[in-house]
């Protein structure tokens, strides 16, 4: 399956940004066309319409995206998920939806997503560890699902819970964190059109190490907010407690918006290294809200983001 992507090309074969930016080489065009061809082939697999929210930056290779993951359920090392996630059972899969909703219940994944149009969202992805990638997700707005189950007026937050299955997840078995992994969003963040539930990437069903079969993607927040392999979505009236907040409340806040002005207590968030450039992966300035400020900055009007980190 993954051989389909084995065109003999490496990320290093794709024209570096500095070249195509200054139009130095015709190769730039060739590489761009190559990327489009890949995307085209992808659409043949999972029908997904392009989105105006997509970045035009070149996505990372499938190899980068599926070989460099923080998914502590499978271990601390970034190569652990690719190594250990293969045995994860993802069918059947159901998601429990409860709390302040009109139609709570245990939904089979297919029923949950039936009839919702899939889109390709090529998003920048910024990890709290100061590295970043560009990932061509396939998914749909979380709002579409929330509308389907009916959000009650008292709901102020959405809580997410990831799968914790010790016999298939060595990191869960080893107790690396306080499982299950929990995350949360404020309701307006959850309803923002940028917030998606992703079920695939690069035109394929979601690889297990990236959070199959369904995961959250919130592109203006640090990656740990985008919980993987979701089994429960709860609408609540109180701010849910998240896994990382529980571990290090001073380091990981509820909001976790990408923000170069608010450093992690242990490291700077002013810049990030773009994964995929090999030995000379370029370090670039981090942009507030990961560059999605035009869509989300208004959500935080009047909030002190240094305090609400």
Partner 1 sequence: MDRVHALLRRVRPWMVYALGAIPAALLILRIFTGDLGIDPVKTIEHRLGEVALQLMVAGLCITPLRRLAGLNLIRFRRQIGVLAFVYATLHFAVWIALDLQFRWAEIGADLVKRPYIVIGFLAFLMLVPLALTSSNASIRRLGSAAWQKLHWLTYPAAVLAAVHFVWLMKAWAFEPLAYLAGITALLALRLWWRARKGLAATPARA
Q: Residues interacting with partner 1, by CB under 8 A? A: 10, 63-64, 67-68, 72, 76, 78-79, 129, 131, 176-177, 247, 263, 265-268, 270-271, 273, 275-276, 278-283
- Distance between CA atoms of residues 12 and 2, nearest Å: 19
CB of 206 to partner 1, least distance (A): 19
Edge-to-edge strand order for the sheet containing 182-186? 105-108, 94-99, 230-236, 157-162, 182-186
| Identity of the residue, 9 or 117, whose beta carbon is nearer to partner 1 in the bound complex | 9
Q: How many CA atoms lie within 13 A of 60 on its CB side?
A: 25
CB of 262 to partner 1, least distance (A): 13
Residues pairing with 97 in the sheet: 105, 233
| Identity of the residue, 287 or 299, whose beta carbon is nearer to partner 1 in the bound complex | 287
In DSSP notation, 233-266 reads: EEEESSPPPPHHHHH-TTT--SS-B--TTS-BTT
Which residues lie below 8 Å from residue 291, measured CB to CB, with a gap of 6+?
55, 124, 220
| Identity of the residue, 164 or 214, whose beta carbon is nearer to partner 1 in the bound complex | 164
CB of 185 to partner 1, least distance (A): 21
CB of 111 to partner 1, least distance (A): 36
| Identity of the residue, 93 or 224, whose beta carbon is nearer to partner 1 in the bound complex | 224
**DSSP character at residue 4:** G
- Distance between CA atoms of residues 199 and 196, nearest Å: 9
Can you read off the two tokens belonging to residue 57? 């930056």
Residues pairing with 184 in the sheet: 159
CB of 8 to partner 1, least distance (A): 14
Cis peptide before 213 (omega within 30 of 0): yes
CB of 61 to partner 1, least distance (A): 9
| Identity of the residue, 76 or 241, whose beta carbon is nearer to partner 1 in the bound complex | 76
| Identity of the residue, 231 or 275, whose beta carbon is nearer to partner 1 in the bound complex | 275
Do 176 and 81 touch, CB atoms closer than 8 A?
no
Which residues lie below 8 Å from residue 188, measured CB to CB, with a gap of 6+?
299
CB of 81 to partner 1, least distance (A): 12
| Identity of the residue, 60 or 257, whose beta carbon is nearer to partner 1 in the bound complex | 60
């Amino acid at each position: 399956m993954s051989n389909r992507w084995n065109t003999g090309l490496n990320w290093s074969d794709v024209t570096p940004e500095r070249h195509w930016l200054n139009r130095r080489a015709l190769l730039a065009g060739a590489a761009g066309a190559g990327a489009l061809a890949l995307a085209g082939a992808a659409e043949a697999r999972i029908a997904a319409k392009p989105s105006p929210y997509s970045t035009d930056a070149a996505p990372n290779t499938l190899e980068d995206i599926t070989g460099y993951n923080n998914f502590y359920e499978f271990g601390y090392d970034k190569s652990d998920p690719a190594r250990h996630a293969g045995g994860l059972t993802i069918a059947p899969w159901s998601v429990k939806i409860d709390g302040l909703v009109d139609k709570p219940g245990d939904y089979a994944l297919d029923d949950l997503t039936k009839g919702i149009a899939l889109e390709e969202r090529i998003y920048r992805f910024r990890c709290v560890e100061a590295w970043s990638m560009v990932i061509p997700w396939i998914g749909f707005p979380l709002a579409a699902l929330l509308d389907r189950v009916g959000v009650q007026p008292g709901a102020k937050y959405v809580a997410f819970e990831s799968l914790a299955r010790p016999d298939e997840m060595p990191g869960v078995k080893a107790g690396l964190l306080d499982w299950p992994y929990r995350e949360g969003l404020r309701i307006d963040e959850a309803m923002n059109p940028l917030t998606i539930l992703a079920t695939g990437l690069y035109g394929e069903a979601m690889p297990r190490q990236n959070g199959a079969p369904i995961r959250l993607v919130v592109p203006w927040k640090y990656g740990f907010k985008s919980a993987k392999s979701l089994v429960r979505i709860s609408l609540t009236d109180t701010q849910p407690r998240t896994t990382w907040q529980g571990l290090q409340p001073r380091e990981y806040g509820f909001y976790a918006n990408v923000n170069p002005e608010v450093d992690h207590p242990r490291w700077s968030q002013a810049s990030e290294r773009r994964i995929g450039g090999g030995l000379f992966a370029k370090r670039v300035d981090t942009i507030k809200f990961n560059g999605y400020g035009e869509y989300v900055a208004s959500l935080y009007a009047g909030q002190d983001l240094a305090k609400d980190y």
